[in-house]
């Protein structure tokens, strides 16, 4: 059946058709939908794990037990899961194992722009890269064959543009594969030095076999046309090349990114007058070409930063696109904002008002860094707010400075707990604020161990955050409602003054949850409003100054009442 | 046939996803090669959002750039001006004339350029503006702005009206079908 699918849905379909039984993942843009779509198939056990390392280890266990398994993550998630990945390369698999990682060139929704291809090379595992949804399905499916044939995990590399673009896919049937027998095999599965030493040569032999396979595999394709220009490319860049040149240049499209072919590239290079490598981010294919003695253009023409497009590629060949209509009047930017009624707003306003130095973390609440809230000082990676705060406070020693960490409920479960353990164990007088909005917000409302529901929406064991914080050794744990500014202010002042570690749980569900019912919108009494603009300090998209007075957009306002508490003239009713 | 390129632009949360699904699915049924590209994630939180829809015999790139769009369907006035550079010289802008203030305007750091569409039009751009919010309210919900605008856009396509209605019926929850059919008709006939 022909159907439009985003790349991520197509990967899920490939996983389904390959007969996969277990998928374990942590959500992360642009990878999240793979697992969400996989969860729609009842034949697959799907789950949100607390983090990517746990997810990959769950997939390892499932593979060891003899079924096909997968885990998915965004590029930075693979950093978290790098530990199991590098040794999974040694153990290999029993049932086929797919690691799907989604890069984010252009950083649409990420804190860095790292190139995951380096991981495939470093961990010595094969990596496939599709160029549209149809290939996303086909490559995901083929990854399991490859995994079992070569006894290795296989990485499928997606990128935002492939993951979130819909194109036509032809679906097939599920291939139900019986579980392979599990046999105890210490030399293969117990990676202690004596056995690992024997496995490393196996990994090197496997890489050599895969390199031979790469010369003649169905994933790499040569399209010979005019031979003045020959382009080596992969993934989404292939589409841009075809958009610019159609069939007027010769193309070597690489689908198996690691290991790269040698003879295939040499033969292609010999047939063309000028060789150009076009790849987003780092020059991995280009470096390989040089290593095998092939001269080419590449990063001398194209940047190592940002997302490519047909325009960038055309420009590098001197083809300029016609500009059409451009206003001379300045067009104000429209950055993303915290939603009207977002429970994080009241808390960030209070932190900003108290001039607290705030270690931020990854999630919707990273938007608290923007003006006018301007509430964050640093954001590094998942969990770093908590562990970073500890180091910051240790560096300060006896110097007095108001500091805290803010971290969402899901991020706290992901990698905030270990940081909190460190705060308690190595005793810093740190304040950690858990922004518990009862869901994983940024990635589009995924359940997590604190919500009480699993990926299918069925009731599940629910972590009690208060008990957990007490258990790791925090004595001062209190809960506030971030819609109540007085309560937040008092709690923050008291806990900052405490001579021991403390946790505030700022608890209020995400306003976008269907279960959250909006209150009637508040309105401004124009007679009372003195245009003091206090209500503008919270950066609520529903509030503006219209005709010289504060105005509240009734279609956006959910009646959270935070602005009402700020108005000294009781003008907001 | 050559590839036709449509940009759907607006403000995160305005419902452009449904509009692009409606368009994409119908075009596939009509036998075209189709690519639809959207970006999920942080930009969705009230930021400027763009969806690309391209169809034809064979579509390569999923994205649309300067001077390449046959149509820009804008859910908001300022966003139409922001992306007008992507319009072909003979392309068409269909725009909801509603104004939604971006944060720099809300905070007073910038002013909303109310006359921006006139400026674009004076350069020779074809602009079809309509008050889709009022029409959506007339249909029964301010959330139907997306379907009103879709109704307006497809007037320019050579695809039978009934086929669009069938798509709406297959994509929308049963209790909202009548509302959306009304919204579509209001946009189509506006």
B93-116, pLDDT tens digit by residue?
999 999 998 988 888 889 999 999
Residue of A nearest to B33 (CA): A168
Are both A221-316 and A344-507 of the same fold? Answer: yes
Nearest residue to B8 (alpha-carbon basis) of B61, B52, B56: B52
What does the alpha-carbon distance between residue A499 and residue A428 come to, in Å, rounded to a whole number? 9
Range A263-279 average pLDDT? 98
Residues in B touching A242 (Cβ below 8 Å): 60-61
Residue B65, token pair as written in the block = 């750039």
8 A C-beta contact, residue A560 and residue A511:
yes
Range B54-74 average pLDDT? 96
Range A205-228 average pLDDT? 98
Range A390-405 average pLDDT? 96
* Selected residue of B61, B99, B100, B137 to mutate for chain A interface (largest A Cβ count, 10 A): B61
Residue of B nearest to A541 (CA): B103
B41 has a pLDDT exceeding 80: no
Q: Which of A324, A335, A444 sits opposite B88 (nearest CB)?
A: A324
Q: What is the pLDDT of residues A15-60, one digit of tens each?
A: 999 999 999 999 999 999 999 999 999 999 999 999 999 999 999 9
Contacts across the A-B interface (CB distance below 8 Å)? 189
What does the alpha-carbon distance between residue B6 and residue B24 come to, in Å, rounded to a whole number? 11
8 A C-beta contact, residue B71 and residue B153:
yes
Residues in A touching B11 (Cβ below 8 Å): 334
A360 SS3 class: coil
Partner A contacted by B60 (CB < 8 A):
yes
Range B83-96 average pLDDT? 96
Residue of B nearest to A2 (CA): B28
Give the CA distances from residue B127 to residues A25, B16, B121, in Å, rounded to whole numbers and listed in that order.
Answer: 46, 19, 7
Partner A contacted by B64 (CB < 8 A):
no
For residue A206, the model assigns a pLDDT of 98
ipTM: 0.93
What does the alpha-carbon distance between residue B91 and residue B120 come to, in Å, rounded to a whole number? 13
What does the alpha-carbon distance between residue A418 and residue A446 come to, in Å, rounded to a whole number? 22
A442 has a pLDDT exceeding 90: no
Range A58-85 average pLDDT? 98
For residue A405, the model assigns a pLDDT of 98
Residues in B touching A323 (Cβ below 8 Å): 66-67, 85
B128 SS3 class: strand
What mean pLDDT value characterizes chain A? 96
For residue A546, the model assigns a pLDDT of 86
Q: Give the count of beta carbons closer than 10 Å to the beta carbon of residue B57.
A: 10
Residue of B nearest to A545 (CA): B106
Task: Name B98's Cβ contacts closer than 8 Å, sequence gap at least 6.
Answer: B75, B76, B77, B131, B132, B133, B145
For residue A23, the model assigns a pLDDT of 98
Which segment of A50-64, A137-151, A325-339 scores lowest on mean pLDDT?
A: A325-339
- Inter-chain contact A337–B103, Cβ cutoff 8 Å? yes
For residue B42, the model assigns a pLDDT of 60
8 A C-beta contact, residue A350 and residue A485:
yes
What does the alpha-carbon distance between residue A229 and residue A272 come to, in Å, rounded to a whole number? 6
A333 has a pLDDT exceeding 80: yes
| Residue A330: Cβ-neighbour burial (10 angstroms; 0-12, 13-18, 19+) | exposed
H or E element in which residue B189 lies? helix B177-189
Q: Which of B42, B106, B124 sits opposite A442 (nearest CB)?
A: B42
Listed in order, strand segments (DSSP E) in A19-112 are 22-25, 45-48, 69-74, 97-103
Task: Name B74's Cβ contacts closer than 8 Å, sequence gap at least 6.
Answer: B8, B9, B10, B80, B83, B93, B94, B95, B96
Domain boundaries of chain A, sorted by first residue? 2-214, 221-316, 344-507, 517-573
Residue of B nearest to A372 (CA): B107
A153 band by pLDDT with thresholds 50, 70 and 90: very high
Q: At the fourth CATH level, which superfamily is domain A2-214?
A: Thiamin diphosphate (ThDP)-binding fold, Pyr/PP domains (3.40.50.970)
The correct CATH number of A517-573 out of 3.40.1280.10, 3.30.70.20, 3.40.190.10, 3.40.50.620 is 3.30.70.20
Residue A227, token pair as written in the block = 């031979």
Partner A contacted by B82 (CB < 8 A):
yes
* B 145-174 → A contacts, CB under 8 A: none
Q: What percentage of chain B exceeds 70 in pLDDT? A: 97
B44 has a pLDDT exceeding 80: no
Which segment of A48-62, A284-298, B32-46 scores lowest on mean pLDDT?
A: B32-46
Domains by residue range for chain B, with CATH: 4-189 (3.40.920.10)
Look at domain A344-507 and name its CATH class. alpha beta
Range A395-400 average pLDDT? 94
- The verdict on domain A221-316 having CATH code 3.20.170.30 is no
Residue of A nearest to B2 (CA): A243
- Inter-chain contact B84–A324, Cβ cutoff 8 Å? yes
Handedness of CA A298, A300, A306, A310 (dihedral sign): negative
Nearest residue to A11 (alpha-carbon basis) of A169, A123, A121, A245: A169
Q: What percentage of chain B exceeds 90 in pLDDT? A: 77
For residue B12, the model assigns a pLDDT of 84
What does the alpha-carbon distance between residue A360 and residue A382 come to, in Å, rounded to a whole number? 9
For residue B190, the model assigns a pLDDT of 84
* Selected residue of A109, A161, A327 to mutate for chain B interface (largest B Cβ count, 10 A): A327
B140 band by pLDDT with thresholds 50, 70 and 90: very high
Comparing B12 with A33, which gets the higher pLDDT?
Answer: A33
Partner A contacted by B18 (CB < 8 A):
no
Partner A contacted by B80 (CB < 8 A):
no
Nearest residue to B150 (alpha-carbon basis) of B15, B23, B3: B23
Partner A contacted by B118 (CB < 8 A):
no
Residue B37, token pair as written in the block = 């590209």
Comparing A126 with A324, which gets the higher pLDDT?
Answer: A126
Task: Name A236's Cβ contacts closer than 8 Å, sequence gap at least 6.
Answer: A131, A159, A161, A162, A280, A308, B62
């Amino acid at each position: 059946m022909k159907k439009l699918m985003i790349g991520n849905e197509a990967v899920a379909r490939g996983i389904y058709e390959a007969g996969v039984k277990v998928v374990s993942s942590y959500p992360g843009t642009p990878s999240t939908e793979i697992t969400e779509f996989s969860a729609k198939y009842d034949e697959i056990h799907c789950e949100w794990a607390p983090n990517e390392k746990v997810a990959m280890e769950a997939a390892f266990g499932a593979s060891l037990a003899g079924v096909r398994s997968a885990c998915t993550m965004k590029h930075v998630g693979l950093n978290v899961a790098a530990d199991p990945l590098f040794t999974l390369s040694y153990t290999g698999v029993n049932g086929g194992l797919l690691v799907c990682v989604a890069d984010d060139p252009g950083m649409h929704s990420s804190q860095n722009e790292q190139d995951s291809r380096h991981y495939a090379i470093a961990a010595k595992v094969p990596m496939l890269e599709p160029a549209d949804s149809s290939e996303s399905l086909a490559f995901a499916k083929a990854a399991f064959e490859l995994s079992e044939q070569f006894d290795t995990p296989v990485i499928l590399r997606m990128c935002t543009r492939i993951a979130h673009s819909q194109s036509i896919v032809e679906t097939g049937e599920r291939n139900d594969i019986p579980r392979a027998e599990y046999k105890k095999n210490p030399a293969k599965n117990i990676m202690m030095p004596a056995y690992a030493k024997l496995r490393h040569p196996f990994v090197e032999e496997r890489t050599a076999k895969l390199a031979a396979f790469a010369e003649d595999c169905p994933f790499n394709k040569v399209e010979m046309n005019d031979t003045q220009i020959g382009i080596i490319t992969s993934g989404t860049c292939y589409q841009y090349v075809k958009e610019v040149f159609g069939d007027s240049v010769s193309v070597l499209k690489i689908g198996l990114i690691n290991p790269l072919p040698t003879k295939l590239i040499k033969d292609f290079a010999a047939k063309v007058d000028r060789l150009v490598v076009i790849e987003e981010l780092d020059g991995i294919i280009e470096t390989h070409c040089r290593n095998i003695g092939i001269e080419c253009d590449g990063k001398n023409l194209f940047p190592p930063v940002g997302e490519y497009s047909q325009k960038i590629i055309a420009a590098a060949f001197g083809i300029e696109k016609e500009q059409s209509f451009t206003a001379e009047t300045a067009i104000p930017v429209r950055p993303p904002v915290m939603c009207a009624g977002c429970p994080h707003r009241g808390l960030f306003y209070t932190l900003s008002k108290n001039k607290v130095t705030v270690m931020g973390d990854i999630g919707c609440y990273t938007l608290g860094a923007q003006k006018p809230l301007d509430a964050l000082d640093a954001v590094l990676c998942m969990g770093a707010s908590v562990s970073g705060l500890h180091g910051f406070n240790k560096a300060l020693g006896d110097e007095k400075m108001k500091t805290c960490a803010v971290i969402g409920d899901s991020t706290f479960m992901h990698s905030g707990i270990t940081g909190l353990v460190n705060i308690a164990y190595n005793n810093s007088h740190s304040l950690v604020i858990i922004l518990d909005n009862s869901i994983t917000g940024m990635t589009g409302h995924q359940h997590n161990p604190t919500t009480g529901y699993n990926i299918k929406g069925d009731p599940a064991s629910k972590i009690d955050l208060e008990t957990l914080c007490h258990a790791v050794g925090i004595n001062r744990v209190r809960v506030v409602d971030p819609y109540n500014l007085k309560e937040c202010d008092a709690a923050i002042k008291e806990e900052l003054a405490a001579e021991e570690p403390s946790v505030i749980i700022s608890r209020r569900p995400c306003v976008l949850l269907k279960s959250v019912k909006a209150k009637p919108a508040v309105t401004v009494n124009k007679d009372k409003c003195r245009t003091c603009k206090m209500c503008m300090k919270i950066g609520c998209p529903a509030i503006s100054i219209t005709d010289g007075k504060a105005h509240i957009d009734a279609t956006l306002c959910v009646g959270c009442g935070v602005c009402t508490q700020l108005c000294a003239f009781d003008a907001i009713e | 046939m050559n590839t036709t390129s449509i940009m759907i632009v607006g403000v995160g949360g305005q419902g452009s996803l449904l509009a692009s699904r409606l368009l994409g699915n119908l075009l596939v049924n009509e036998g075209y090669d189709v690519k639809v590209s959207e970006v999920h994630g942080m930009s969705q939180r009230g930021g400027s959002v763009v969806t690309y829809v391209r169809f034809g015999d064979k579509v390569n790139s999923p994205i649309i750039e300067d001077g390449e769009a046959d149509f820009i369907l804008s859910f908001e006035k300022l966003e139409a001006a922001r992306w007008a550079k992507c319009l072909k010289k003979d392309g068409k802008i269909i725009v909801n004339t509603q104004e939604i203030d971006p944060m720099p305007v809300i905070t007073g750091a910038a002013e909303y350029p109310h006359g921006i569409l006139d400026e674009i039009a004076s350069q020779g751009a074809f602009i079809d503006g309509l008050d889709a919010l009022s029409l959506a309210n007339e249909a029964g919900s301010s959330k139907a702005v997306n379907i009103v605008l879709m109704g307006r856009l497809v007037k320019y396509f050579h695809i039978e009206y009934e086929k669009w209605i069938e798509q709406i019926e297959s994509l929308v929850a049963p209790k909202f079908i009548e509302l959306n059919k009304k919204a579509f008709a209001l946009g189509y006939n506006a």
